[in-house]
Structures are given as C-alpha cells and as structure tokens.
Structure 1
Amino acid sequence: MTEPTRTPRPAGVPRPASLALTTVLLALLGMFGPFSIDTAFPAFAQMGEEFDVTDASMQLVVSAYLGSFAVMSLFHGPLSDALGRKPVMITGAVVYSVASIGCVFSPSLPVLLLFRVLQGASAGAGTIVSRTVVRDLYEGPAAQRLMGTVAMIFAIGPAIAPIIGGWLLLLGPWQLIFWFLSGFGALIAITTLCLLPESHPKADRTPMNVRAISTAVLQVGRRRSFEVLAAAQAFSFAGQFLYIAAAPIFVVTLLGKGEQDFWVFFVPMVGGMMAGSFTNARLAGVVSGDGLIMGGQAVAITGAVIGLVLALLPATDGLPWAVVGPTAIGFGTGISLPVYQLALLDAVPHARGTAASVSTFLMLLLNAVLSSAVVPIAATSLARLSATSLALLVLGVGCFHLHRIATRRPRRVPSMTPEVT
C-alpha cells in the first residue's frame, strides 16, 4: 500500500469556505450509522416487551438495518460518481427521515423491521459518500489529516447516541428515539444542501445507467488486491463492532446495568477511538500508511489479549475491567481505520465512489452476520466475547499482510555479466 496519491485538484471543484465547517458536516454525515444503531439500544428491553419478542429477536432490529445498508452501499457510491455527491446525500437524508417516522408508528416488530430496512437503505448515502468528498477535495497528508479529524468527531456519535436514547426514554416511550432520528435526518438534508460544496464536477462523472453502474461495481469487486485490503479493513473493525452490536447484552445482561447506563461502555470505548483518530491525524505525513495500520493493529490486538485475560480472572470480570479491552481496541482502530479508507479510495482513483461502496458493502455484510449470528453465541460470557473479538482482529492482521505480500514490488535482480578475460 502506498501513501495517498498527490493528484492535482480537478477543474471546477470549489475549495471549502471553511475547513472546520466542512469537517463537522462530513462527520455528521457519517453519524447516520452510529445514531441509527446505538440510539435505540437503551429501548430494546421496552420494545421487546411491547412487541412480545425475545432478546434474540430484537437483534434483528440491528441486522435488518445493516443488511439493507450493505446492499444499498453498492449503489450509493456509483450513483454519486454519476449524479454528483450532494444530490445522493440529500436524497438519502430525506428518505431516512421519512423512514424514521415510519418506525414511530410501527404496530409490530415485522413492520418496524420493514422501516429499519428503509432506514438502512438510505443512511449509507451520507456515510459512504461523505468519505469520497474528503478525497475529492484534498490530497496526500492533508486528506489523511482531514479523514483522521472527521473520524475523531464522528467517534462522538457512538458515545452520545445511547446516552441520548436513555435520556429520551426518561421523557417518554421508545417512539421518541425515532422522532429524534427523523429530525436528525432532516437537519442533515438542510445543512448539506446549504453549506456543503459539490466536490465532483460534471466533467468527471460516469454514465448514469444500470449497466454502467453494475459493470463498475463488478470491476472493482474483482480486483484481488482490493478485495484483500477491504477484507483486512472489515475484520480489523469487526473486533470493535462485535462489542457495539452486543451492547444491549453486554451492558444489561453481562454487566447488570440499566437503560441509562450504556455510557459506562460507550464513553471509554469511543474515547479510545477518538484518541486513536487524533494520533492518526498528528502522524499524517510523518509515519507511513503501512506503519500506522500495523501500529494500530498491534495496539488493538494487545488490548484484546488484555481484555481476555481480565475476563478470565474472577477478580476482574466486571467493571471497570470489562471495558479496558474494548477501549484499547477502539484506540487501535482509530489509528488504522482512516488510512484503510484512503487506501481503498486511492486503489480506484477513477471511481472513488464505487470503491467506497464496495468496501463498505463487504464491511457491513460482515457486521450484519456478526450482529445476527455471532453475537447471540459470543455474548454468552465476557470471556467468550473477548476471545471472539481477538479472533476477528487476528484475521484482519492476516489479511493485511497478505495484501502487503501481494502488492510488494519485486526486487530487481542485478544482471550477471561474464567477466572479460
């Protein structure tokens, strides 16, 4: 993997009037994911009682969202390559707001899942395309610094989302959470329309037809080096996401906490990720991309091992020790994830939106499997949860080193010329 390519700014692309404003907007666009998942966690028990379903059935509320997010993620990027970034992000935010209102009035779990599917199908427009905007507007270390800063602000989302959800439950029933999400979608649509520049000029756009989009997706997806790098990113993040998906069981069942106590997990874990993202931004241009990824992976695996050891010891199998591992994993992920995202975009510079879509699809597909099939098994104990997270991180390291081996330039062998006698 190489450093982000320094390419000249395309003609017609405006510079953002304010870097700070652009950074905040891009981070908010990325928050669709954590807000959609984590804000509802405190309400799972209440929703389960109202719909008369089990904890395992409530995990479908996460899986339905992630599954549709994954499928539609294949299209948001190519659509933004063809239509421009802003129209896709604004349309997605509007549809998301409407879908959230549908969740409010759902009379049963199946109906709720239907609108969660619509939420997931639209949320990726902001989450995926916003990353492409970073690479459209900036190059080299500047792009890495902005991506790291966006990730640092974005990381606030998982920390405050369950806290907001808990506060809203103090004011009324679980439906208030989805009213909040509807308002968030409307706010994002308005601010994107009014304040964010269009970063993808018409001259650089791809043809707008189903065949062209499908061909672009298949071409990117068939690149072996891209597939391995995308798998490395997905498994590296999966070690942290496993804890996020298992949060209702982890906090309430395993740690014995209540609806307003999700902060005991999310605040330290997200604090670790923010610290990692800050470290990434500070080291941009100083440490190579490969070095940052390997350093972040080393921190994450060390944290996972410590978490497993603490979970196995009777004296440290509860708070505050139970969140030490996830916090260290978050720190390592914060260091490596922005570099992964830029590397995947630069792997297909002529179709960055498509590259963002395909890599996000693979990550979300894995996350959907984790939340629906792995979490119910892994979250039966703190030790099993820690061991599963460690295994996922090891897979991420393995995939990344496979990518390095496959893309390593062969050394030149000096030619052997016979000596003249």
Structure 2
Amino acid sequence: MNPEADRLWRGPRWALAALLATLGMLGPFSIDTYLPAFSGIAASIGATPVEMQQTLSAYLFGFALMNLFHGALSDSFGRRPVVLVAVAVFAAASVGCALASGIGQLVFFRTLQGLSAGAGMVVSRAVIRDMFPPADAQRVMSQVTIYFGVAPAIAPIIGGWLFVHADWHTIFWFLAAIAATLWLSVWRFLPETLHHSQKQPFEAGHLFRGYLQLGADPRFILLALASGVPFNGLFLYVLSAPAFLGGHLGLGPTEFFWFFVLTISGIMGGAWVSGRMAGRIPRRRQVRHGFVIMFAMASVNLIANLLFDPHVSWALIPIALFAFGWSLNVPVVTLMVLDLYPARRGMASSLQSFVASAANGVVAGVIAPMVMHSTVAMAWMALAMLGVGLGAWLWLRHRWPDTIRLEG
C-alpha cells in the first residue's frame, strides 16, 4: 500500500471506484457493443460467420498477450502513464475499425483494440491495492464490479440502437468518443498511486524472473484458475450471443439487452453482497458460497436444457444467478492473488488477467464455434469450465490452506 495514500485522493471513495470501473469497462464495452451488429457487419464487408467470430478471438488473444505487460509496465513507469498511452491507442484502433472496408482490416484493428483495452482492468486493480488496506480494498473492488456491470448491460442496447438507426461504423466511432472522454478524465483526475519506493526496474531479466516466480507458484495458478475459468462458462454465452439469443431464443438485435441486463444484474448483485460481507465473514466461506451457487445454477441450466426446448422465459435466469455466484467470489480471490507478492501487484494482476483472457480467446475461437449450435452442448461446457475452477479452489484449500485463511 502507498504510505501516502491518504493524501492522493481527497474525493469520495465511490468516485474513485467509478473512475476505475470506467477504465475496466472499456474492454467488455468493445465486445458487447458490436455483437448485435454481427450480421450487418458480415453482410457489409462480405465476411462469413466464422470470419466474424475471428474478430472476437483476435481481440481476446491481443487482450491476453498485452495483459502480460500492462501491470509490469505500471510497476516500473507508474499507473498513470500506462493507462493514458493504452487508452489513446484504443481510441486510434476504434477509428481504424470504423474505417475498415474488409475483414482483414477489421481483424487487425480489433487486435489493436485488444492489445490496449486490458490496461484499464489490470492497472485499476493495482491502484485499488495501492490505495486501500485489505478489507477496504475488497469493498472498493466490489464497488468497481458493480459500476463495471453497467457497461455490458447498456452496451448491447446502444450497439443495437446505433446499428438499426445508423450503421455499424457508428458503433466504432462511438467507442472512439468514449475512449477520448476517458483519456481526458484519467489525465485530469487519476493520481499516480505507485509510490516511488515501490517502483520495479524495467529490464528483461527482472521481468523474466518475476513471471517465473509467479508462474512457478502453484498457489498463483490455482487462484487464477479459480477466478478465471468459471467466468469462461459465463462468457461462453456472451461470445455466443448472436447464435444463442438470435438463433436459439429468437431475439432481435434490439432485444439482446434482456440477456445482458439480467446477467449484469446478477454480477452487480453478487458484488454488492461481497462488499457487505467484507470483514464480516472469513474469505474462504464467502468463496465457498459463491461456488455452491455457481454449481447449483450450472446444474439447473443443464437439466433444464436436457428436458425442455430453450425459451427466453426461463433460459436466461440460471445464467444470471450463475453470474451472481461468480461476482460473489471474484473480489476476494483477486485480492488473494494481489497479496501473494505485494511488491509485484501490477505483474500479478497482469498474469492473472492473461490466464483469464487467454482462456477467453480459446473459448471465442475454438469452444464457442464448436458448441453454439446446441444449448445442451453450451450448458455442458459451462458446467465443465466451472468444474475446472472449483477443482482448482478445492486443491488450493487442501494443499495450501494458509493462503485462503489470511484475512489481513
């Protein structure tokens, strides 16, 4: 924690949480806003559905790759410079997407968006731990998750409206405008929270040793899997939204928001409860509650899809409650990751995001195209990915119980 934290931010804590959440929202916003326009973009540039799916996977792999460096760069050069450069690159990439005339150009600029979009999410986590002790950090992390949930809820509504009333190019012009506004807000309001005594040298050997230390620590890997892979079970439905919502449930582009509103309501509700629990119950018990909810909802989702034809009246509810369970867990597990190596919090946040984003890329490019033809196959896959995260948590609890008992 920065020893001068009390002097860095004079405003209310919720305002800092809102600014950090807005930084983190840039990534999911750039996914969810253009999903309702998939078919229109494909028709406009002559792309196949498989080629359009690659605009998602290219974004996610770029997101994952650069996530390895956002945090390490912020540990060396400071939080502010990394965020400002990344948001500027994202704005330029959004303009490139708006001007793209073919699938190759669109994939290239989507990759550039992915390379830059993760900085806000990675660095904001480090900023929170720079500024607050553990219990307060969990509360702020929960507030960030609540605000963060607004973007995926409203993004498809905005994207669908822009697509129907203007055209798909307008969606990317809109993203560029958001990035420009966010850059000005960060430049004006976000303080530098990395204390000069905590800066790390930026050189290849130091970075390699840091990543080796983190990557070789089974506690880190298990925590990253426990927080990231269950989210892939939820994200599978987001990535498959055109097929799941438009094909299986028969919703139009302007009706996609029902899925996102319910799912994000689950995320925001779980985050609110997580913040209320901070400092009141042991962390391990809170994580257990989250996994119980996720397992129950994933099982109900599978059974319902095996017994009934998919219908919008029930198909979205288990997914929303699964999201509630996941967001009950994620502030706690994320803080556990950051506190494993206090001197390398930026790097730890980077590597955690890399694990999750790489898995998202695999889901987008391989798993989603493989299962999105069937709601039963999607439900099986979501349950299987939850099983990976649950297994990682149970192994950590069995082998390194002290890691999850630290309440400090």
* TM norm. shorter chain > 0.5: yes
1:408 aligns with 2:401: yes
Cα displacement (A) at 1:337: 0.9
What does residue 293 of structure 2 align with? 299
Find the aligned partners of 2:108 and 2:363 in 1 and give their Cα distance.
20
Cα displacement (A) at 1:328: 1.0
Find the aligned partners of 1:51 and 1:83 in 2 and give their Cα distance.
41
What does residue 327 of structure 2 align with? 334
SS in 2 for 1:320: helix
Find the aligned partners of 2:109 and 2:7 in 1 and give their Cα distance.
37
Alignment check: 8 A CA contact 1:141 1:284 kept: yes
Cα displacement (A) at 1:213: 2.3
2:342 partner amino acid: P
1:343 aligns with 2:336: yes
Cα displacement (A) at 1:409: 5.1
Structure 1 unmatched runs, 5+: 1-7, 411-421
Find the aligned partners of 1:268 and 1:209 in 2 and give their Cα distance.
45
Cα displacement (A) at 1:13: 6.8
Find the aligned partners of 1:250 and 1:25 in 2 and give their Cα distance.
32
What does residue 51 of structure 1 align with? 45
Candidates 230, 246, 256, aligned match of 2:240:
246
Find the aligned partners of 1:292 and 1:61 in 2 and give their Cα distance.
37
Alignment check: 8 A CA contact 1:14 1:198 kept: no
What does residue 419 of structure 1 align with? none
What does residue 3 of structure 2 align with? 10
1:155 aligns with 2:149: yes
1:180 aligns with 2:174: yes
What does residue 288 of structure 1 align with? 282
What does residue 275 of structure 1 align with? 269
Candidates 22, 25, 38, aligned match of 2:19:
25
Alignment check: 8 A CA contact 2:46 2:102 kept: no
Candidates 243, 253, 257, aligned match of 2:251:
257
What does residue 218 of structure 1 align with? 212
Cα displacement (A) at 1:340: 1.3
Cα displacement (A) at 1:56: 2.0
Cα displacement (A) at 1:400: 0.6
Candidates 308, 323, 346, aligned match of 1:353:
346
% identical aligned pairs: 36
Find the aligned partners of 2:187 and 2:122 in 1 and give their Cα distance.
17
Cα displacement (A) at 1:199: 0.7
Cα displacement (A) at 1:40: 0.6
TM-score w.r.t. length of structure 1: 0.93
Alignment check: 8 A CA contact 2:14 2:143 kept: no
Find the aligned partners of 1:221 and 1:326 in 2 and give their Cα distance.
31
Find the aligned partners of 1:214 and 1:173 in 2 and give their Cα distance.
45
SS in 1 for 2:316: helix
What does residue 4 of structure 1 align with? none
Find the aligned partners of 2:66 and 2:36 in 1 and give their Cα distance.
27
Give the stretch that moved more between structures: 218-227 or 293-302: 218-227
Find the aligned partners of 1:215 and 1:401 in 2 and give their Cα distance.
28
1:319 aligns with 2:312: yes
Give the structure with higher Rg (CA): 1
1:128 aligns with 2:122: yes
Find the aligned partners of 2:401 and 2:145 in 1 and give their Cα distance.
29
Candidates 69, 85, 90, aligned match of 1:75:
69
What does residue 196 of structure 2 align with? 202
SS in 1 for 2:260: helix
1:278 partner amino acid: W
SS in 1 for 2:44: helix
What does residue 414 of structure 1 align with? none
Alignment check: 8 A CA contact 2:302 2:380 kept: yes
SS in 2 for 1:317: coil
Structure 1: 4+ residue segments shifted above 4 A: none
2:79 partner amino acid: R
TM-score w.r.t. length of structure 2: 0.96
- The CA deviation string for residues 106-165 of structure 1, in whole angstroms up to 9 with x for no partner, is 110111110111111111111110111111100121110110111011011111111110
CA 317–199 in structure 1, closer or farther in 2 if over 3 Å, else same:
same
What does residue 138 of structure 2 align with? 144
CA 198–409 in structure 1, closer or farther in 2 if over 3 Å, else same:
closer
SS in 1 for 2:312: coil
2:73 partner amino acid: L
Structure 2 unmatched runs, 5+: 404-408
Find the aligned partners of 2:52 and 2:168 in 1 and give their Cα distance.
14
Q: Could you say what the CA RMSD is over the residues aligned between the two structures, in angstroms?
A: 1.4
1:275 partner amino acid: G
Alignment check: 8 A CA contact 2:156 2:257 kept: yes
Alignment check: 8 A CA contact 1:79 1:213 kept: no
- The CA deviation string for residues 308-330 of structure 1, in whole angstroms up to 9 with x for no partner, is 1221223x621121101111111
CA 201–409 in structure 1, closer or farther in 2 if over 3 Å, else same:
closer
